[in-house]
């Protein structure tokens, strides 16, 4: 399914490129699936007269691959996650937003003023942020779920009923938290322990699936599943016994950001769009739809009141730290790639 989505996206890319209908007043967005309310795009078009086209992807890596395989110069903006922003800056895929170009930049919340992945927001703006942890069906297990043992060393009643995300970054970051080791460890003993622990844990897992992460939980195919918090809220709406865990060892935090792509065919439209999303009322519409937090101040009055008390986005005091996925250097990454291949061979 992933590849199908990607190839659709690539086909769409080619079609767009061939059309070259890049007159003034167009905007071409490359975005995650199920993440942008159509009504908001319609509002943008109504306000600015800019006609929006959007293609979707289902993982940061798929987006990067498609951009590197000829997608550059087709899209104006994309929405990579935190670590992918630093990778894209490193690869020279992002254009710089000059100071003063975005008149609403002051709306960014103070705690997000200077993110590690793009210091000073010189290529991006915040879109949504949240966490990646896991959900447990409390009808199948009523013990303590706020521990990474649920995933990596599960109690007997959950063994064989666990879905992991089919995503190297999220699985290995969670595993690092479980063992209490750095995400880009160069310590051989730690890496060997990580490899061994994952081999052992795999025996307890039913599947690796990202696209159906919510569906397998709702349908009861599995009793535990790694999932993003907003997706988790939607899953709970369909199956009330699902509970989102905040392990004491920590959980993965993420932030998706709208970036200005190098060689954007409609740079002015892109800047207008970024400014549009920096208005609290507009980004709140995204939060209301996607159930994630925005990085702006002053969104409160526009938010669904229910969001403030959402258990998926309000970690309890016992929760460990939320950590971003780290970007390892090439040699270290090679070892992690081998661990991942070992896991899935």
Which residues contribute to the site for other proteins (CB under 8 A)?
1-4, 6, 59, 61-62, 64-66, 68, 87, 91, 160, 163, 166-169, 188, 191-192, 195, 202, 205-209, 212, 219-221, 330, 333-342, 344-345
Q: Which is nearer to other proteins, 226 or 269 (CB)?
A: 226
Shortest Cβ 335–other proteins spacing (Å) = 6
By C-beta, is 187 or 268 nearer to other proteins? Answer: 187
Looking at the chain, which runs of residues are DSSP E strands? 26-32, 51-57, 77-78, 124-137, 162-164, 205-208, 224-228, 242-245, 251-260, 322-323
Question: Is 197 or 206 the residue whose CB approaches other proteins more closely?
Answer: 206
CB 145 within 8 A of CB 319: no
CB of 320 to other proteins, least distance (A): 23
Question: CB of residue 315 vs other proteins: minimum separation in angstroms?
Answer: 26
Q: Tell me if 297 sits within 8 A of 107, measured CB to CB.
A: yes
Q: Considering the complex, what minimum distance in angstroms separates the CB of residue 193 from other proteins? A: 11
Q: How far apart are CA 22 and CA 74, in angstroms?
A: 9
CA distance 224 to 242: 9
- Given a contact cutoff of 8 angstroms between Cβ atoms, the answer to whether 165 and 208 are in contact is yes
In the complex, the smallest distance separating the C-beta of residue 63 from other proteins, rounded to whole angstroms, is 9
Nearest to 250 by CA among 185, 200, 180: 180
Q: Which residue number, 15 or 113, has a Cβ lying nearer to other proteins?
A: 15
Instruction: Select 77 or 216, whichever has its Cβ closest to other proteins.
Output: 216
Phi/psi at 68 (nearest 5 deg)?
Answer: -70, -25
């Amino acid at each position: 399914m992933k590849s199908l989505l990607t190839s659709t996206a690539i086909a769409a890319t080619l079609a767009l490129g061939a059309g070259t209908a890049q007159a003034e007043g167009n905007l071409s967005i490359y975005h995650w699936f199920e993440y942008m309310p159509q009504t908001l795009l319609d509002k943008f078009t109504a306000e600015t007269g800019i006609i929006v086209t959007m293609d979707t992807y289902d993982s940061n890596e798929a987006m990067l691959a498609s951009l590197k395989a000829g997608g550059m110069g087709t899209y104006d903006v994309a929405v990579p996650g935190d670590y992918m922003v630093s990778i894209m800056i490193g690869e020279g895929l992002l254009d710089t937003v000059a100071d003063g170009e975005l008149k609403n930049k002051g709306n960014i919340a103070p705690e997000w003023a200077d993110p590690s992945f793009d210091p000073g927001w010189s290529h991006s703006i915040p879109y949504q942020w949240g966490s990646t942890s896991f959900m447990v069906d409390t009808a199948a297990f009523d013990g303590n779920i706020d521990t990474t043992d649920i995933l990596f060393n599960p109690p007997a009643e959950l063994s064989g009923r666990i879905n992991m995300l089919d995503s190297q970054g999220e699985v290995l970051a969670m595993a690092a938290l479980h063992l209490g080791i750095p995400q880009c460890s160069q310590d051989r003993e730690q890496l060997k322990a990580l490899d061994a622990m994952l081999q052992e844990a795999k025996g307890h897992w039913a599947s690796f699936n990202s696209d159906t992460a919510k569906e397998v939980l709702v349908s009861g195919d599995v009793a535990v599943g790694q999932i993003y918090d907003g997706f988790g809220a939607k899953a709970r709406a369909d199956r009330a016994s699902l509970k989102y865990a905040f392990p004491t060892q920590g959980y993965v935090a993420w932030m998706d950001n709208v970036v200005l792509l190098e060689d954007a065919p409609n740079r002015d439209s892109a800047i207008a769009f970024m400014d549009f999303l920096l208005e609290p009322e507009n980004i709140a519409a995204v939060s209301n739809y996607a159930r994630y937090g925005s990085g702006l101040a002053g969104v409160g009055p526009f938010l669904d009141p229910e969001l403030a008390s959402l258990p998926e986005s309000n970690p309890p005091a016992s929760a460990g730290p939320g950590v971003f996925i780290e970007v390892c250097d090439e040699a270290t990454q090679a070892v992690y790639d081998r661990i991942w291949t070992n896991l899935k061979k």
